[in-house]
Each structure stands twice: as C-alpha cells, then as structure tokens.
Amino acid sequence: MIELKRDWHGSRDDRMFPRQFQKFISSLRCVNVSAMLLFLILSVLAGCAEKIKPTAMKGIDSRTLPQQESWNPTITISDSGKVGAIVTSDYLEKYDAPPQTLLKGNVVVRLFNSLGKQTSVITAKEGKVNEQTNDLEAYGNVLVVSSDSSRLWSERLFWNNTKRLIHTPDFVRIVTIKEELQGYGFESDESLKNYTINRVTGTADTQ
C-alpha cells in the first residue's frame, strides 16, 4: 500500500492556497476598501471647498477706511521748533484722502504762545486736525479756559495755526473778569483777551 503524504491538512481551499497567501489577499482587499473610502471623502471635501468661496464685503470702499488708528494718542503741533499746541484724545483715526486726523472722546487741546507759555485749554467731545495746514476743529460741548480763567462755551470752534486765532460762526457765550457776552460769530486771540462777537444777543456786567 502506498500512502500519499501531504504537506498540510485542511479543506479544499486550504489545499489550493496556503493560509499565508490567503491572509495576504484579505489584507489587499482591506487596503483597497480603505483607499476607496479615503478617495470618496477627499472628493466630497473638494466639492465643498469649491462651493465655499470667500465673499467680499460689499458696499465698503477701502479708501474710506483709516490708514492709522491709535488709542490715547498725543499730537504735538509745532512750527520752526516751537510748540503751538499739544492735543490728546481717547481715540484717533488718520486718513490720507483727504489728509486729516479725526479725534474722538475727551479731546484736550493745550495752546502755547511763542514763548512756550500755555495760553488756554480747549476741551471737546471730538475734533479734527487738517494735516496740510495743522488747523484744528473742535466740536461737541466745547469749552475754552484761558490762563486768566476767562471761559468760552460753544458747540464748534476752530483754531487757525498760522494766525494763532480761535473763531466760530456759531453761538458762543463768554465770561471774563469784566463781562459776560453771548452771540453769534466769534473771533479771538488764544488767550481770550482780544475778541469780537459779530452779533451780540446778550450782555451782562460781571463786576
């Protein structure tokens, strides 16, 4: 009797393919399935990325946005090395077109004469500095207090850097040691000593 010796025992499939080879085939199938799933996920994400596009902010012109912003700034306005004014505020916006600086919140302007002595202090809610002329505009509860305690109230006031004058076409009320006046159209030196009111609507003697 002749006996046939087998190298392994098992089912028909086992006899046709070794177990190690079958494991290899199974692993390839898993890899193929994983690759297909990954491909599908990437395809979906790519489709979403094409649909989601950055949207530009409509109705906003970048030229109207400030070129510079600052909090609690201090501006020094000088001519030929002599300080004419020191300006502070809570917030500042600087623009190039037109060239101007907008001041917001607790605006304080300290004015100085040619000898460097402080002549008066202007306070207001907001202000604006012309970058070409260094002229200044203050508005909103404007108060001017001179070095001799004279006081001026208005809603808007202009300071001319070249002429060293303060003026406004609006209503003003001024109180000095000698008198109290109110009216429209005001112009004065920085110390509130030499001033005129175009249309006086009220007077009072403070002496």
Q: What is the pLDDT of residues 160-194, one digit of tens each?
A: 999 999 999 999 999 999 899 999 999 999 999 99
For residue 24, is pLDDT > 80?
Answer: no
161-166: Cβ within 8 A, 24+ apart: 161/77, 161/79, 161/84, 161/85, 161/133, 161/134, 161/135, 161/136, 162/133, 162/135, 164/84, 164/113, 164/189, 164/190, 165/189, 165/190, 166/120, 166/122, 166/190
For residue 63, give the DSSP letter. G
pLDDT digit string, tens, across residues 64-95: 789 999 999 999 999 888 999 999 999 999 99
Q: What percent of the chain has pLDDT over 70?
A: 68
The rounded Cα 155 to chain-centroid distance in angstroms is 25
Distance between CA atoms of residues 94 and 120, nearest Å:
25
62: left (phi over 0), alpha (psi -120 to 50) or beta: alpha
Nearest CA to 114 among 136, 83, 77? 83
What integer pLDDT is reported at residue 64 of this predicted model? 76
The pLDDT value recorded for residue 48 is 53
Tens of pLDDT along 126-156?
A: 999 999 999 999 999 999 999 999 999 999 9
- What is the average pLDDT value for the chain, to the nearest integer? 82
Asked whether residue 7 carries a pLDDT value surpassing 50, the answer given is no
The residue behind tokens 């060293």 is 164
Q: Where are the domains of the chain?
A: 12-51, 66-205
**Are residues 120 and 109 in contact, defined by beta-carbon separation less than 8 angstroms?**
no
CA-angle at 32, arms to 30 and 33, nearest 5°: 65
pLDDT at 28 over 60: no
pTM: 0.70
The better pLDDT of the pair 28, 39 is held by 39
**66-205 in CATH: which number?**
2.60.450.10
Quote the pLDDT of residue 18.
Answer: 53
As a whole number of Å, the end-to-end CA separation of the chain is 150
The pLDDT assigned to 80 comes to 87
